[in-house]
Structure 1
């Protein structure tokens, strides 16, 4: 928790700018929840969705907006409606999240400070549980998955977005190498295990041990198109290594940007970076 406590200002600083890109990849996570099927099973009852490690709002905001009761959607499926609980272990994240939700007028979202390894919710009270790039950072990931299973109703669904291996994520590979060389710190030194669920066989085994059935894992590798002079790595770098970068000199930060550009130069085409990110969506049903 201490690591994320120090990083919450960096996350809040980039939240609004990164939201559109986050929403583009969140659809893979939200699709895995199959909210229309859960709505049909709820038979008119509002859905209850719990988002874990919500950070400063995604994907909780997107799910809440989908569940705002908009009436008949015209495609034969019942209208989606329900409530979202956004949770995070870091109070600073929760405070920023609540402020952003209020500013955006999201009325069907509440914020609860919660440790996903010991959730303060009753057994069988949620229809769905989502978590975007969070469970791999738990001290005991199996406990977190077990808690997600516990709070779900029978037939409820959980979906987790997880980073695929470092070798398949050139942005992180470059970041780890450049910061290791320049500042003497990489992911391991900072205590950040982004890739604890990178192996598909191990990841699905974690879900099965937690009691989930119908476990699926899909892998996605989107690549954006960003002008080559844009230092697009800065948001992720500051959100993971904010304290170290604030302690660096202006010259060191300039050298880091130059080294990142060189490391990612192979991904420049027609004047634009096209750097893939690779992640898994791991999903299961409480049976």
Structure 2
């Protein structure tokens, strides 16, 4: 899964937002940075490029992701870690960053409180989260393809997890409950560009938890073909471009 995620999804869906988040981090000056839910290191690499004088520690719960990320972004210190129980002392980092990871935390307030705990005085917590599913051109088309392939029981992973924390007021309330103060909030829409609908669909269906959902429903090559057909009907054969909307937050302790 990490290899398919890195090859097919990172360049199209995640790198544009990683470059944006890294540029925001760089404006805060030289930092000791902790990254949560770093995955395969797309934001890590962008941070190292945008702020080369910063010391970056990248973490992820998944050891396979940590191994792949360490190989792709060796300029950071990599460590397996649970964002809800960080293995770091108080006041250890100037900046905590997270790209599209907070939606996956079972206890978001607890994870936000941990981010606050490890932030030094004057530190910041910078992260993004996806907007509603309908504001992501690629994933809205993908969901339509899944509903066509599995009309009786389509997978709902996209709507309930990646796009399941799409109310900025709810995010802000959780930050406040964790003892953090929202300094900045922005709705941001960037364009994703994919050379191939087939590669993009393959990335989603083999490089994300959708893989298990499709397999549980007995899906295989026929399901993938249906998804590709529906996405092509909606977006074109490729190369294709689609808008993707996220919310960016910066919070202080």
TM-score, with structure 1 as normaliser:
0.76
Given that 2:131 and 2:166 are in contact with CA atoms closer than 8 Å, whether structure 1 keeps it comes out as yes
Find the partner of 2:33 among 42, 49, 55. Answer: 49
Say if 2:253 is the partner of 1:253. no
Say if 2:129 is the partner of 1:145. no
Find the partner of 1:173 among 127, 131, 140. Answer: 140
- Structure 2's unaligned 5+ residue stretches are none
Change (3 A) 1:58 1:171: same
| Aligned residue in 2 for 1:112 | 79
What is the alpha-carbon distance in structure 2 between the residues aligned to residue 143 and residue 228 of structure 1? 40
What is the alpha-carbon distance in structure 1 between the residues aligned to residue 57 and residue 195 of structure 2? 37
Q: Deviations over 1:189-232 (max 9, x none)?
A: x8951123311211222222222224321111122454576653
Say if 2:18 is the partner of 1:26. yes
| Aligned residue in 1 for 2:67 | 95
Alignment of 1:1-287 (within 5 A): 10-16=1-7, 18-21=9-12, 22-33=14-25, 35-39=26-30, 47-68=31-52, 81-101=53-73, 106-107=74-75, 109-183=76-150, 184-188=153-157, 193-226=161-194, 231-240=199-208, 241-245=210-214, 248-262=219-233, 264-265=234-235, 268=236, 273-286=240-253
Given that 2:130 and 2:165 are in contact with CA atoms closer than 8 Å, whether structure 1 keeps it comes out as yes
Given that 2:9 and 2:204 are in contact with CA atoms closer than 8 Å, whether structure 1 keeps it comes out as no
RMSD, aligned CA: 2.6
SS in structure 1 at match of 2:40? coil
- Structure 1's unaligned 5+ residue stretches are 1-9, 40-46, 69-80
Given that 1:89 and 1:114 are in contact with CA atoms closer than 8 Å, whether structure 2 keeps it comes out as yes
What is the alpha-carbon distance in structure 2 between the residues aligned to residue 229 and residue 154 of structure 1? 46
Shift of 1:145: 0.8
What is the alpha-carbon distance in structure 2 between the residues aligned to residue 61 and residue 94 of structure 1? 13
Shift of 1:134: 0.5
Given that 1:171 and 1:233 are in contact with CA atoms closer than 8 Å, whether structure 2 keeps it comes out as no
Shift of 1:100: 2.2
Given that 1:51 and 1:131 are in contact with CA atoms closer than 8 Å, whether structure 2 keeps it comes out as yes
Change (3 A) 1:63 1:143: same
SS in structure 1 at match of 2:126? strand
What is the alpha-carbon distance in structure 1 between the residues aligned to residue 133 and residue 11 of structure 2? 24
In the alignment of these two chains, the number of paired residues is 247
